[in-house]
Structure 1
Amino acid sequence: MRIASFNVENLFDRARLLGGDDWSTHRTLLEKYARLTRLLQRPTYTADDKALIALLLVDLGLEKSDSGTYVTLRQNRGRLLSRPRAGGLTVVAEGRRDWVGWLELRTQAVTELATHHTALVVHDLAADVLGVVEAESRIALQRFNVDLLRPVSDRIYGHVMLIDGNDDRGIDVGIMTRGDHPIEGIVSHVDDADLAGPIFGRDCPEYSVSLPGGGRLLVLVNHFKSKGYGKASESDTRRRRQAERVAEIYRQRRAEGHEHVVVLGDLNDFPGSAPLAPLLVGTSSAPSDLRDVSAHPSFDDGGYPGTYTTGRTANKIDYILCSPAVFTSITAGGIFRKGVWTASRRWEMYPTLTREQDAASDHAALWVDVDL
């Protein structure tokens, strides 16, 4: 059977703030969006809170309207603010109980050719079990399966599942399996928390997949905290907390008797990084026996070990990690890059991929064949 992981970077719609070339500006706006979202949850707004809310609303382009270029303010019941005719805005709510609403990131459509290239990647991967990162919803994933994959493939997926996570930008994680590999159990960790708060920005769902010859494959799909915005120290700490929790879940499942376990997805850091150490190396008291498929002698990276953009070593951020029983059963593995744009033509692309915005993703897909 073939197991694969692919960060599709949204199938149909993507938050406008996550696209475009001016990432430095977009990163600042995302930070302000996140700060304002937290601020609006306070039960009582002080005078300083109101001043900061007003300032952030203006910075996000919401001074004159509830609908800005990148963000929409939903005011369903009650009012957060008023906009005097003389100009400006005034926060009129005294706290969270005075109004019902939220901030919402505006989206833009992914190009039709980009979604077609995504379908080609999934078709060419021919995975029996595919972990999907950054899909908008289960409905979007099912639409992709039926409407886009079917025209290019003689076999679509019989089982499609995605659990809504903690990220309101529509970048959740899910799984697609062939008809002879039904999903027989699901465990969500969307509510896992420690003293610092929620652990997973999306989720770490566990999918129990039935194997045709009997037995089960346990698949944990992940998307760790990005380095893209926020303080580096804070994002490093968040990724380490996530790695620690996934390692804890893995050890627990192994202790319960699960032999065939795979942890896969976009972990947003390179193998030697401190944040990923609890998962890739473990600790002195609990060493990790998870093995990266790229360490297997049969693995072929095509000369570029990285999985993101240029393929540099530092851009190896996508993983398929295997328990010992799965790792010893590997027969082949590699990185599939034909849907990733490269201006230097350092690897083969689809003939129709002639501009960056039509790429299937910035991420290459990972695959591994195992004999279970």
Structure 2
Amino acid sequence: MAVRIGTFNIENLLNRFDFTGFRNQLRQDRALRLYTIDSEADYRRLEEARMIASTDDTRQHSALAIADADADILCLQEVESLEALNAFEYGYLYKMVGEGYRQKYLIKGNDSRGIEVAVMMRERTRDGAPIEFIDIRSHAAVTFRDFGLYDEALTATEKPDDRIFRRDCLELDVRIGGKRLTVFVSHFKSMTSPRDGMDGRTATMALRRAEARAVRRIIETRFGQGVTHRNFVICGDMNDYQEKLLISGDRRTGFAFTPTEERESALDVFSGDGFAENVVRRRAPDDRWTLFHARGLEERHLCQLDYIWLSPSLSEANPAAAPDIVRSGQPFRTPFPPGQEVERYPRIGWDRPKASDHCPVVMELHLP
């Protein structure tokens, strides 16, 4: 009996318009900047038309990526509400996979933009084993003081009674063919712009490290001494990496990809002592990336931001398995290392439309 579990940052699955760009150009779409817009009413009308026009292609691509992942349990990031998720599933995903994901779970978390973590599940695995919902818990309210995780590195941006998770750590218990599995879904603090003489990743590292420690504390408290023998996975967009592929060159002369190990990462909290395994590292070093990052031509790399971490029990029970990464929804601006090129979905653009800036990661697991 096997279950396919996946994670996907679906990128801003919203059911509302954002008109703040009329007064704040930093939030204004680049297409609208090409036009002179005289009034807020005109801006709202044009923004609505732009969003509706671009959303249809984007969500067709998102649905194609989810269909190709073919997960029995899919962890999602950047979903505004169950209403938005239901509308997407009925209007787009249903046309590709049928009535595949009837079970959906989302609890409002802490994100200021209202983008939440969520889970969709089939009622049965592809092998026919029932997937039974047992329980769900939110940990959005946990503070640094609650877990004793406040330290000097956080003082510049956080207070002791602030909430740790920028979104949530959603804890979901299921039974699959009679065997228990616990899924922890998170979306860690994003890397911001450089500040205080530090790059954006370094400047936000302390908060992501605290989030990782909090996830680990939740799991260790839940399972106690038997933690290594329990079936759990940690899924989500961790917004950090332990390695990357630096990119040089251009499309005319050719790209070069240089693997680089990071000196430190917030994710060392999981991997440092074998608490959990990042199974994407079972793939070749140049084939682990799930996102293309670029800031002009000066700063370009491919890296892994999207993770499936296995408990020691699941890792031992699946020694030869490796995850799949669905990259057909990536825009054409993303440079692929040699031998990794894939056929893109119809109507994929240079930068947009696309399925997401992230790639789905999915793995088939046997439960001991």
TM-score by length of 1: 0.69
Using the TM superposition, name which of 155-164 and 327-336 deviates more: 327-336
Q: Is the 8 A contact 2:332 2:350 kept in 1?
A: no
Partner of 2:7: 5
Q: Give the Cα–Cα distance (whole angstroms) in 2 for the partners of residues 125 and 185 of structure 1.
A: 25
Partner of 1:266: 237
1:352 is displaced (CA, Å) by: 2.6
Q: Specify the code of the residue in structure 2 equivalent to 1:216.
A: R
Q: Say whether 1:338 aligns with 2:303.
A: no
Q: Say whether 1:307 aligns with 2:290.
A: yes
Q: Give the Cα–Cα distance (whole angstroms) in 2 for the partners of residues 173 and 344 of structure 1.
A: 26
1:191 is displaced (CA, Å) by: 0.3
Deviations 1:222-256 (A, max 9, x none): 10000134744552111111011111112223327
Q: Is the 8 A contact 2:290 2:302 kept in 1?
A: no
Change (3 A) 1:314 1:358: closer
Which 5+ residue runs of structure 2 have no aligned equivalent? 29-38, 45-49, 125-130, 146-158, 243-261, 295-299
Q: Specify the code of the residue in structure 1 equivalent to 2:361.
A: L
Q: Give the Cα–Cα distance (whole angstroms) in 1 for the partners of residues 123 and 62 of structure 2.
A: 21
Q: Is the 8 A contact 2:189 2:204 kept in 1?
A: yes
1:313 is displaced (CA, Å) by: 6.4
Change (3 A) 1:290 1:154: same
Instruction: State the identity %.
Output: 31
Q: Specify the code of the residue in structure 2 equivalent to 1:251.
A: E
Q: Give the Cα–Cα distance (whole angstroms) in 1 for the partners of residues 5 and 304 of structure 2.
A: 18
- Secondary structure (helix, strand or coil) at the match of 2:332 reads coil
Q: Which of 148, 167, 174 pairs up with 2:118?
A: 174
Q: Give the Cα–Cα distance (whole angstroms) in 1 for the partners of residues 42 and 206 of structure 2.
A: 32
Change (3 A) 1:140 1:167: same
Deviations 1:296-352 (A, max 9, x none): 3xx468x43221126986521111100012123333422110111123663321133
1:198-277 map, 5 Å: 198-212=163-177, 214-229=178-193, 231=195, 232=200, 234-255=203-224, 257=226, 259-271=230-242, 272=262, 273-277=264-268
Which 5+ residue runs of structure 1 have no aligned equivalent? 30-64, 71-106, 282-286
TM-score by length of 2: 0.70
Using the TM superposition, name which of 313-322 and 200-209 deviates more: 313-322
Q: Give the Cα–Cα distance (whole angstroms) in 2 for the partners of residues 125 and 211 of structure 1.
A: 19
Partner of 1:189: 139
Q: Specify the code of the residue in structure 2 equivalent to 1:26.
A: L
Change (3 A) 1:294 1:2: same
Greater RCO (CA < 8 Å, at least 6 residues apart): 2
Partner of 1:294: 280
Q: Specify the code of the residue in structure 1 equivalent to 2:289.
A: G
Larger Rg: 1
State how many pairs are aligned: 287
Q: Is the 8 A contact 1:184 1:208 kept in 2?
A: yes
Q: Say whether 1:362 aligns with 2:328.
A: no
Q: Is the 8 A contact 2:14 2:81 kept in 1?
A: no
Q: Give the Cα–Cα distance (whole angstroms) in 1 for the partners of residues 19 and 180 of structure 2.
A: 40
Q: Give the Cα–Cα distance (whole angstroms) in 2 for the partners of residues 256 and 291 of structure 1.
A: 18
Q: CA RMSD in A?
A: 3.2
- Secondary structure (helix, strand or coil) at the match of 1:360 reads coil
Change (3 A) 1:69 1:188: farther
